[in-house]
Structure 1
Amino acid sequence: GVTVVLHDLQPCTVYFLRVAIIRDGEHRNVSEVVSFTTPGCEPDPPLAPTLISRTKNSLNLQWKGCNDNGSKISHFLLEWDEGIGEDFKSCYTGPRKQHKLFKLSPSTKYSFRLAAKNHFGCSNFSETAVFYTSENTPSAPLPPKLKEAGVYSLSLEWCAPTNPNPNDTLTYVLEMKEAKSGLGFKPKYNGEDLSCTVKNLQRNTTYKFRIFAYNLEGRSNPSGEVKYTTRPARPGCPNKPHVVGTIHARQVTIGWDLPKDNGEMKISSYSLEVCENSDAGNLWKIIYSGTLQEFLYDDLQPGTTYKLRVFCTSPAGQSRPSDVLTIQTPALPPESCSSQPLHSKTKGRDVNLLVPLDKDYRQEVIRAVGLECLRPASCVFQAVNIVGVGMFGGTAKVTTPGTVPAMVPMLQEVENKVPAKQSSTCIAIRWEEPDCHGSQITGYNIEYGDKKIVTVKRVTEYVLKNLQPNTTYRIRIQAINHYGLSPFSPSIRCKTKPLPPEPPQLNCVVYGHQSLRLKWGTVSSKKSRAIFISYNLLMEDRSGRFSVIYRGTDVTHKVQKLTEYTQYKFKIQACNEAGEGPESDIYTFTTTKSPPTALKAPKVHPLNNNCCEIKWETLEPIKGDPIVYCLQVNTGKKAHQIYKGPNTSFSFSNYDANSRYRFKVCAGRQYETFNGLQELWGPYSPSALFSTYKHHSGHDKGSGGKGKGNHSEKGEKCKVGFALIAVLCAVAIQFFSFI
């Protein structure tokens, strides 16, 4: 005899066998069909439990059944680690497929695994599933405090809420609205830092602020509201002064206008400066300071050129000087008393001068009066009188010494000056040029970071480059002239943008014949919540170009209306405030083949010789793939496969009397892959009933009958007994007749 070992059989399943003997390729003998049933065993391992819902103190889990392998599953065993990472312990045993655990700790990790039991034993455990209970939302933080007020910015700081969960990573949202505006609050900062600088504000304007704290469970109540006001700016310089009326030999009236920009503060005074066009240099003196916008300058010399300019002052500071007005006084005959230079530089209010007089007088000491509030490198003209004589001569010129420049009055960051692609490594700043104090400014030193200094030319804007991404820099500046370095300006804090993020890994988590569900990143990433990462999902079109099919912050997307068994190509791109990151490599995913549709219930036709025929509908091949069918019979206890193949009918014989058989059929699609022949099965049809119970009349009900046996078991045995006696009597009569 020949022995064959069959492998990969299903537990508790009926199999039908027959043997064909082929001789010379033509003669074929087929044995009778024999059947056998494989024994049952313990269930297959179930899938891991899934999470239905959670709270701070509870987890609600559910699970699905598994293949019972011939014996109905009696109960499930759910084990957990109690959140302390030790050995697994039982937390539920029973037939239900759902269990809720109470009295758990907030924000705690719990692990679970599941097994199934039947008559033959317990299955292996499922894979371990990990779930977390919810966290408490944070308490409301205290209102933010003002750290520093700028002209166009406000720097704020705040503290973490009291008694936060030690496992929390908190993020903060700072909201702002203009105090006088009817508009509501708008977010101005979102992140984990405890300070920020709100920029691009209006000068001398009051704003309201409040702050929220966030964790993964949600946000806190808002803090109290606070008001802070930006500083006013220095006024802009007035226009060039103008002559009012006629220029006389010794006097002229000069007027000027309001500046176009008062820096959001009322102008408190104007200062008119004059410089005589002489060989002494570009030396200026103040000849008027007050609130008027005209001044009668009556200390002129005939035939002399004068330069005049004006600047204004407010509580926020002093403006730059205006453009220069140049005038020429008409000439007159020279006077007897001429001006002479000082013997030495002055440091006080009064100075002594030596004036040459007529030959009948000795040289006398004269005193210049009223020299006050001298500025570095400025010129002062003052009438003199001869001591003890009472006569006034001409004018004398006093020059104060030059010195280092004044402090830079304004330094700020320039928003949107740097392209988005460079904003991670560059910061643009600008400043106002300070007073030069007698020597032209030649450049600036910019200090940033760890006391790094870069020297630039005489400009008022500069872009710091090669910085670290997502880093705060402290920046200050000083001016340079012939006399040296000015004091450093007040420092400002500027932060580079983070680098555009790298693309996440793209996966397909659900394959369908008309859709693909894609997933990337992780929804529980605290970092992504803090810096607002969004994603662009791109898909290749028929022309070979990639276009965006999804844009947003979700980490899953279902691509629909696809064609079965077709390759589709995708790319993923992450974005943050620094811009769009690089596109990923190409990912290729293939839709599945579509399964055949469900068939109608088969039809059962009784035949002679204890046999019936089952027929079902025919399906056309799907895109060239052939269709096969699987016929299953159920006798009330177990389901058995009795036919698999391309035919649409099957003869079923050797069935038992007084039984019910239910037949159902499903269609399968066969196709070839590199792994060999594959089959994709559709759903089973409704079942068709075939009953072998008899009526009182003895006739068979046939296909789909619903009749029940009307004779008791005892009656059936009596009928069999009488039939047997009749047969024996007939045999006896024939025997004796033959004798």
Structure 2
Amino acid sequence: MASPRRGEGVRWTFSTAICVLLVVSALGDVRQFSEFYFANEPQDMTVERDIPAMFNCMAVGDPKPTIEWKKDGTFLNLFGEMRRSILNNGSLRFSNVIHNKNEKPDEGLYQCVASVDSLGTIVSRMARLQVASLSRFEREPQATSVHMEENLRLECRIQGSPTPDIRWLKDGQDIEHDLFEGITILPSGALEIAYVQYTDAGRYKCVAVNAARERESAEAEVSVLPALEQVKEPELIVLPEDMTVLEGQTVVLECVVNAMPEADVIWSFGGQDIDTGTDSVDRSGSRHTIIGVSNLRIESARESDSGMYRCTGENDHGSVTASAQLIVNVPPKFMTTPSNTYAHERSDIEFECDVYAKPAPQIAWIKNGDTVIPSDYFQIQNGQNLRILGLVRSDEGMYQCVATNEYGSIQSSAQLIIVDPDVPLPTMHYSLTTPTPTAAAETPTPNPVPSGPRDVVAVTVSTRFVALSWRMPAETHGEIVACSVYFKQEGSNRERVVNTTRYNLEEVDVRDLQPSTSYVFRVVAYNANGPGESSDPIYVQTQPEVHVPGPATSLQAVSVSPVAITISWQPPTQRNGVILNYKLYYVEMAAGPLNEGSVDVSGLSHTLSGLKKYTEYSFRVVAYNQHGPGMSTEEVIVRTLSDIPSQPPTNATLEPQSSTSILVKWNPPPRDSHNGIINSYKIRYKKSGARRGRVVETGGNMRQYLLNGLEKGSQYSIRISAQTVNGSGPPTEWHVAETPENDLDESKVPQQPSSLHVRPLTHSIVVSWTPPLDTQIMIRGYIIGYGKGFPDEYRVVVDGKTRYFTIENLEAASLYVIKVRAYNQLGEGIPIYENTYTRPKTTPEPTTPMMPPVGVKAEVKSPQAAKVTWADTTLTRNRITDNRYYTVRWMSLFPASKYFYANATSLEYIVTDLKPYTRYEFAVKVTKGRQESDYSMTVNNRTYEDKPKSPPRDLTVVGIEGNPGGVNLNWQPPAKSNGPITGYIIFYTTDPLLNDADWVFDPIMEGDKLTYTVKQLTPNTKYYFKIQARNSMGISPISPIMEYQTPPGGKSYNSKDPGKPDPNPGGPGRSTNSPSNQQSGGFTLTDTMLWIIIACVVTVTVTIIFIIVTFILCRRRNGDNNKNKNKKRGQYKGRDNNKRKGPGHKDVKPPDLWIHHEQKRISTEPPESLELETFNALNY
């Protein structure tokens, strides 16, 4: 027994060793990730022209990467060039930068490209090379006058790269602003002088210097006037401006106020005053300081600093406020970078890339130096992650996520390695624990796997998914644990797989397919031993899809003012044709989706104006191509900017609380006039007769404020205004209150109210009272007690000015006892009582439904009206003797529309304003008091036809290739045909000023015909075309005229009858250009008719002469030869007939003459006669 067990142990040890060696060997075949990255990337630089410059670039890799450079997306060819070269470390060096008016070869965007043959290619961030420049002055100092001890400001603004240094000169001498307190040169270049003195008068100018050049501004004369003695309300001489800065930069918001006496300037942000103090950043840690007179400096700006800043200047005589918006943008930053990835063929992977930036960055994916174009297998998810479907061996390489906005560019790379299908991924963990020895054979044999699944069929085929079904394999060799569905586009080697363990279901959906595409599907079943044989492949063609555009991309909405929002987007990734236009949908969030509006936009942005202030709006965009509207974008929600309140606070009241205090109460402005968050209220008050007033502010959540420290027996005027971060809104009217000479007595409680009245309702009681008779005792308020049977069950406290109150939520038909008493700080006074019963409930009428009307009929009266009649079985003798009324409801069926309603007090109603030749559905219901019936059974009828109300649309004239005398006309039916179209008339001429009756016309009998060919037009001639439609009721208006110039070549034709050749093409008498030939009314002797008349006269004359000669000859003949003579005369007549049909008369064409005659006859009649005659002919 021992020997067999030892043999089994040896076999198991050998098998384990073999397995371990196989796994180790498999893992050893997997390539490892290699280090390949940029250690140094190029940075933006501004350089002077004609001097050296260099972009640094260093890449790490094994073997050493090869470095190339791109400029503006194109590789630089530096072979044989001496001025630009790539150094050994990969840097790009310029021996001198060239930049002049005619040649700027070096400015642009540069990228470093590193390649390793065994790994792939990566590209660096983009860096801009800019040549130093200095523009002309945007603002220069202007001559000005200023009073003593006021503030002076002189402008100097200029753009340059790099940013120029600004210095100021006074009377030709540099101003040493660092040595004199009160003189400041701001970052914008402006010069500020506080508390101006007479010595500050003079001539000022600024000088701007950078690496490019130096510029001097014009001089400005500054005059200093004597100091002001009279009072001057605050006045803003410099308003803060909206600014956009980059995170980390220092920003200065400028605001200067002049006033007498001097105004205090306060900066606030987000409704809170900014504590600027006087300490430096090092001492206080604050990033907010005041520079110059009253300018706010923010060190190292953060994104959280974005918002509205308010500058308020005030003194005892008034205040002024101005606001500016600061936007702090952020360059791109990686939140998540793509990671190196192993994957098997036919699997799906996703590279993650999460980037934050403001404004939002544009993210692009690059594979081995080439931009990844989104396709069926390379998909960019949510504008960030890259998803690759159905991996193939050629997908290996280096992938980079590149994020860019106007403030910077960053990149991060990852490597993809494809592993053989039979090799486990290196990230998997393998168990090498010792298994229990088994009695296996010495040479292991492969375990059986399933045969191929049978009868694989496509149960459902849609545009983007296919539902497959199959039968179990004939030989399962155990339990089937899973199935894999492999699929690929026909002719492609990129196969994808969908795994499912739901093999027992009849259908499995394969999604994310493309419309109108042929796919190959096969199924593999798995048992415990592994994958089995593949089923026979099946070929499936997905359904076609209407090629409408996909959703627009990069939808953004930015508030540009309190009443306007700018919305921008990029074209759809899948356009499926030419994008014709976009439709922008918008809706106020509070209004709901039913109030959504829209506007057509031809470009990629639109500014929507006239919006409500500080209101949230939702936006979405739909692209249109020739097939119609595409998919909508996701909604974006943006709030318009805030503004000052547009209305004052409401219900302002004043209550003297003592001889030295007044209680001010108010309610906020109407909600739709807040225009932002009300963060404070400003209360301005002044004593009557006083020149100066005072201002106090209270929090935005306050509804009352106690003014203390007032004078006894004095009258005060008080008004209140609400404030947002943007400033103060309009104030209330002045309210007046008077403090008493002496304080009211509060040493004893108030007396009993002098009266109490109650008015009961079903579920409420209105209580009113009058104050105690002794008015010298202070009353702080009233206490109302009430309850069923006793008055202290509930308690309500109101203020001392209230004289009535409504008690709600009471029980009906119940006895309530009510008491009211006044109180002050000493306590509660003597109450007054009253009791009453609430009213009983009223029993409503029964709401049993009524019988609906019957026998509803709809009799059409005209194209726009129908008479609806019905019967009411609940009436006696069909007479209405009560207050019942009937509601008639109707709607059009094709196309379906919303319901329309009308009330009637009789058993009939004439419905008007209907559309001609439209089928309508009618129904009626009856209402009596609170009772109403259901709607009756519907009846439908079609209104009569009416003549078309609009002309045919989209008339186009297209030439016929190879036929200069012919054109094809195409059109669309009228928009308002008002019945079936039975025919059209084509009008054309060479003179558009002619009456309609003088145009050549061609009738068309078929109403469904939308194209027509006009032939035998004169080449190289401008023709004018228009068209009319008709139905059985009449004729439509005429369409707009379309012009067409026939090409040169071919025959000329008469403009009066294009079917005839023009006898003098191109000559002075050409009918298409001669006004005499285009006149209307009466017959005009044309050249053709003249020749016909001459031919007729000659023929008649010759015939008469011939007859006379014949007659004379016949008289001389013998009577016996009369028969022969008669026969000869018959022959002569035959000759005469032949002569009349000879070549000399071939071109006369009597039928054409009749056509001319008919046209001349018609041309004498008015256009309406022409239309009637033409369409009588059509009816015939």
Give the alignment's TM-score, normalised by structure 2: 0.18
User: Which structure has the higher relative contact order (CA within 8 Å, separation 6+)?
Assistant: 1
